[in-house]
Amino acid sequence: MAIEGNSVPDVQPNASREVNRRNLLRLTRSLGPIPRQQLAALTGLSTVTVAKIVRQLCQEGLVEEVGLNRTKGGRPAGMIQLKPDGGYVAGLLPRGHSSIGVIMNLSGEVVHIQAWDQRIYGLQDQVVDVLAAQLEELIANCGLPRDRMLGIGIGCPGLIDADRGRCIEAWALGCHDLELAEPLQQRLKLPVLIDNDVNCLTSYELLFGELQEHERSLVVTIGKGVGLGIVIDGLVYRGASGIAGEIGHAPVLGSSRPCECGQIGCLEGHVSDRGVVKNYAILSGAETHSLTPTDLVELARVGDPSAVAALKEGGAVLGTAMISLIHVLDPSSVLLVVADGIAEASDYYLPSLKSTIDARFRGRVNAPELIVSTVGYQSWARGAGSIALNHLFTPGAVASTFPVVTAETVR
């Protein structure tokens, strides 16, 4: 989360001990090495309270004292910084027929990674068993003491109730109305957090990536599907029922294309991997059952006008949807994360998207910064781990119904 000047707007001097603890950890992560006196000044807490919390964090191995801050008069003050190897979290990204998991330290660095070619799609009653086994294997194989594991984050596609740790509807996994967090916590004896995979990626970008200096932003992901992460005042916004950001299934005016969600006219059906192939089928009249996005890109590169038009149409339609989001939410930046087949089609897709947005905002002082990023699935798995780290660092970042992710929790 961005720290501007010497103020921390969401710090509450009279808040609970746990909120104060997380605020100090967050400031230490963002500004460390930092003296205790500055932590007290930034939070409004007394130096005695800060010293007590810092002492506990040192005992738990989450922070450490380094060097001295020599000031005029008085004793030199110890500088406090985050201890990267003081704790670790696991992040797991399950897909329909594969999963990828990472172990991350407190600085967000990946210290172990593992992948599985294992079907999850449609295994409603076995999903918890499969995920528990993958997580146990991930933790066992990383070579780190289990008592340094602080928590687990899981990023799932679809409609996720992060507050209750439930998968409401995950079409890509073939699962619905499935409780995940609580049974996994009971199995693994570690705090488990679950969220939509795009929200997880957004958490990663806030903590360690492109959005560290952006308090109000959007993260738009495009590939096999379409997703949206919303950042308001440095926190991921999930909405009243936890499903904010499901733009992939927002309707496109006048469209009657069927979507795998069971509705018709969804945005995803026009702009995703499958969407641009469908665009080509309509424009060319060709049979496309076996056509892949990679095939479509190759057709565009050899000059097939329908292939070029299909990719440009996808970019323009997504650009139009993004214009509406920008008008409503007024972000300072939009991070566009391009993956899968759309990443291969960037030469055709992105110029169309950008020109659509530029035509609307050209010359306006409030036009947001557009940042384009191409990330692999490891970054999405890091996003899953980041929701556990975010819980550790940021008050209000995740649901209060889950256990506090601290060293004390797992010992």
Q: Read off the pLDDT of residues 63-99 as tens digits, 9 standing for 90 and up.
A: 998 876 555 555 556 799 999 999 999 999 998 889 9
Q: Do domains 17-82 and 86-204+378-410 have the same CATH topology?
A: no
Pairing of strands 63-69, 77-82: antiparallel
At 240 the pLDDT is: 84
Q: Is 237 exposed, middle or buried (0-12, 13-18, 19+ CB in 10 A)?
A: middle
Strands (E), 63-207: 63-69, 77-82, 88-94, 99-105, 110-116, 149-156, 159-161, 166-170, 175-179, 192-196
According to CATH, what is the number of the domain 86-204+378-410?
A: 3.30.420.40
At 394 the pLDDT is: 76
Q: Is the pLDDT of residue 407 over 70?
A: no
CATH superfamily, with its number, for domain 214-374: ATPase, nucleotide binding domain (3.30.420.40)
With residue 273 as reference, give the H or E element that holds it.
helix 273-284
At 5 the pLDDT is: 35
Cβ atoms 300, 308 nearer than 8 A: yes
Which letter does DSSP use for residue 403 in this model? P
Calculate mean pLDDT across residues 56-62.
Answer: 92
Q: Is the pLDDT of residue 283 over 80?
A: yes
pLDDT tens per residue, range 342-372: 888 899 999 999 999 999 988 776 778 999 9
At 269 the pLDDT is: 94
Q: Is the pLDDT of residue 1 over 70?
A: no
**Considering the chain, what percentage of its residues have pLDDT values greater than 90?**
62
At 217 the pLDDT is: 96
At 123 the pLDDT is: 87
**Considering the chain, what percentage of its residues have pLDDT values greater than 70?**
90
Mean per-residue pLDDT over the chain, rounded: 87
Residue 395's pLDDT band, with cuts at 50, 70 and 90, is low
Residue 396's pLDDT band, with cuts at 50, 70 and 90, is low
The domain spans of the chain are 17-82, 86-204+378-410, 214-374
Catalogue the long-range contacts made by 22-27 (C-beta closer than 8 Å, 24 or more residues apart).
Answer: 22/392, 22/393, 22/394, 22/395, 23/395, 24/50, 24/53, 24/54, 24/57, 25/57, 25/62, 25/63, 25/82, 25/392, 25/393, 26/1, 26/393, 26/394, 27/3
Q: Which of 397 and 217 is assigned the larger pLDDT?
A: 217
The architecture CATH gives domain 17-82: Orthogonal Bundle (1.10)
Q: Is the pLDDT of residue 6 over 90?
A: no
pLDDT tens per residue, range 215-253: 899 999 999 889 999 999 988 998 888 788 989 999 998
pLDDT tens per residue, range 320-348: 999 999 999 999 999 999 988 888 889 99
Q: Is the pLDDT of residue 153 over 80?
A: yes
Q: Is the pLDDT of residue 26 over 80?
A: yes
Q: What pTM value is reported for the model? A: 0.85
Q: Is the pLDDT of residue 191 over 90?
A: yes
Calculate mean pLDDT across residues 172-196.
Answer: 92
At 74 the pLDDT is: 54
Question: Which of 55-69, 283-297, 376-390 shows the lowest per-residue confidence on average (mean pLDDT)?
Answer: 55-69
